[in-house]
Amino acid sequence: MPITIRSIETAVPPTVLRQDEIRDVFAGQPDLNRLGGRLVRAAFDVSGIETRHTVVDELDHASAGLPRTDSEPPVFYDSASGEILSPSTGTRNDVYTDRSPALFLAAARTALDAVPDLDADDVTHVVTVSCTGFFAPGPDYAIVRGLGLRPSTQRYHLGFMGCYGAFPALRAARSFCLAEPDAVVLVVCVELCSLHLASSNDPDTIVASSVFADGAAAAVVTARPAPAGEAVLDLDAFETVLTPVGEKDMAWTIGDHGFEMVLSRYVPHIIEEHIAGALAPLLASVPGLADQPYGSIPRWAIHPGGRSILDKVQSTLDLSDDQLDPSRETLRTYGNMSSATILFVLRHVLHDQDPGAGGERVCAMAFGPGLTVETALLTHRVVDESEDGE
């Protein structure tokens, strides 16, 4: 039996950042020089983002200069002065520890509820992914306790992989299902990137501040048969490739005032130069596929690391606007939520696209530190009566 993604569901914090408003906040910081201010406006304006979500509630309506309604001193943003503050890494991580469990649970619970023939007792494995904070017992533990999963549920956490982290998690889920055909794996990605945004004149830091956001996504993976008529995504093949350059162009380090994110302006050019080579081993896994134009693959789920990255992928692979729509819509509405983002894109494919008779092939990819390119082939299809698990 094929190993399938039965559901993908998402969760975001309630505070919404409008890109034009938060641009003005960053552009108005007292530590910026004239060039820095111009770079902020340019980066935010060309990002392809309209809204993002954040757990930093202090930024709610920040550009309107609204006063805080509580008596606590500001931590991330002082509305009285309009200044973005620089709390310690420990303070930022305290907020991650406080706010991330609810998002892990919300996405996981919704994904499991979306598969009515499965419940908490069916889950055999939990795989969590995050690179924006740490605590122990960790999010894998919180999910087992919060959802009432069996104490024997196997738990795994993948940390600090960045934007491609969902791919190793899905690959692990597939391996668990191959080894144990009755396995049901819950994959949950949560990133609170906004905890680490900072004001700076550095161009790479400015680019990071213009795109990163907070969000959560979860998927249920299993080889158990699905009911007839249900749309699923089969996990067909995975590949990982390290490009020969780019190690310093996409990276994270832990500083005294947060995780320091590097998203170099050269990343789109690196991707443009090496994307064909990164895709080659994946396409070679299907006889004849490597000889076809890239556009012959009907559906694409590309991690929207930024608008320029999507532009380079589209032009290099000669893909249509429709093929990029799930990625661009995710970027426009949610920004770059690191590892969770590709699951938002795949949810778009799973729920909003008609696979037609016989299903459609989907090619997914994400980019991360290294520079690492993770790719996958999936099949989007509707289960027919011959497979019905009822």
- Any bridge partners for residue 51, and if so which? 18
What are the tens digits of pLDDT across the range 203-216? Answer: 989 999 999 999 99
Strands, E assignment, 19-164: 51-54, 77-78, 83-84, 125-130, 154-159
Does residue 345 fall inside a structural domain? Answer: yes
CA 375 and chain centroid, separation: 14
CATH code at position 257: 3.40.47.10
| Beta strands at 4-11 and 83-84: parallel, antiparallel or unpaired | unpaired
Q: Is the pLDDT of residue 298 over 70?
A: yes
User: What does the DSSP 8-state code read for residue 131?
Assistant: S
For position 28, what pLDDT does the model report?
95
Q: What pLDDT digit, counting tens, does each position of 26-37 carry?
A: 999 999 999 999
Q: What does each C-alpha distance from 261 to 162, 299, 362 come to in angstroms?
A: 10, 30, 30
DSSP track, 257-314: TEEEEEE-TTHHHHHHHHHHHHHHHHHTTSTTGGGS-GGGSSEEEE--S-HHHHHHHH
- Please check whether residue 46 lies inside any domain of the structure: no
Tens digit of pLDDT for each residue in 323-343?
Answer: 999 999 999 999 999 999 999
Q: At what angle do helices 321-334 and 307-317 cross, to 10 degrees?
A: 170
pLDDT band at 261 (very low <50, low <70, confident <90, very high): confident
- Terminal-to-terminal C-alpha distance of the chain: 15
250 bridge partner residues: 263
Number of domains forming the structure of the chain: 1
Chain CA centroid to CA 204, Å:
20
d(CA 374, CA 46): 26
pLDDT value of residue 388: 57
Enumerate the active-site residues.
163
**254-283 mean pLDDT:** 89
- Name the more confident of 269 and 157: 157
Beta bridge partners of 242: 372
pLDDT at 73 > cutoff 60: yes
- Phi/psi of residue 371, nearest 5 degrees: -80, 125
Q: For residue 16, how far is the Cα from the chain centroid? A: 17
What range defines the domain where residue 283 resides? 231-383
In eight-state DSSP terms, residue 61 is T
Residue 146 domain-assigned (yes or no):
no
Q: Is the peptide bond before 137 cis (omega within 30 degrees of 0)?
A: yes
Q: Check: CB of residue 360 under 8 Å from CB of residue 380.
A: yes
Check whether 65 has a pLDDT greater than 60: no
Instruction: Round to whole Å and give the CA distance between 119 and 108.
Output: 12
- Select from 264, 270, 260, 259 the least CA-distant residue to 248: 264
Query: What confidence tens digit (pLDDT) does each residue in 112-154 have?
Result: 999 999 999 999 999 999 999 999 999 999 999 999 999 999 9
The position carrying tokens 């027919």 is 384
**Residue 369 and residue 228 in contact, taking contact as beta carbons nearer than 8 Å:** no
